[in-house]
Structure 1
Amino acid sequence: MAATEASATAISRENLQRAEAILRSIVADLERPQELDQALTEEERESLGTLQSMLDIVQSPLFTAVVDITEKCKKVYS
């Protein structure tokens, strides 16, 4: 039992270290946006713009209202 716990703890620590390394890499990329922008292809820039537009839509109050109304209609007509 103790060996299993030790193994699980080691795996958890390893996973945390990997996650931390990934997050540090992301933060480093975000801290140098000009370099990152230059490294992107035109297609990647367009995709990034599309994703940003989608995020803006999803975060808008109108979208939230539409989702709320849709959920209420589902409950009424179910």
Structure 2
Amino acid sequence: MSKQVLIHWPHGKSTACTAGCDWLAAARDAGFSIPTGCLGGSCGACEIDVNGTTIRACIATVPPSKSGQLNVELATDPYW
């Protein structure tokens, strides 16, 4: 049975979704736009930081969380 995860988005909104949900769909449902480019994981346009770990939203899913919560920030690349 998949658990609900509370996601805190950069724009101040919090939403819940089921662990295993697609990150892009979770963001869309929250009214938050994650930039995308290739949709295959190679360009890095969709990188977000989830609890301090950078992931590529186009190829990742919302993980389960022991605390039941995840904090999302936009990733920053100092070389871009």
Structure-2-length-normalised TM-score:
0.20
| Higher relative contact order, structure no. (Cα contacts within 8 Å, ≥ 6 residues apart) | 2
Q: Which has the higher helix share?
A: 1
Structure-1-length-normalised TM-score:
0.21
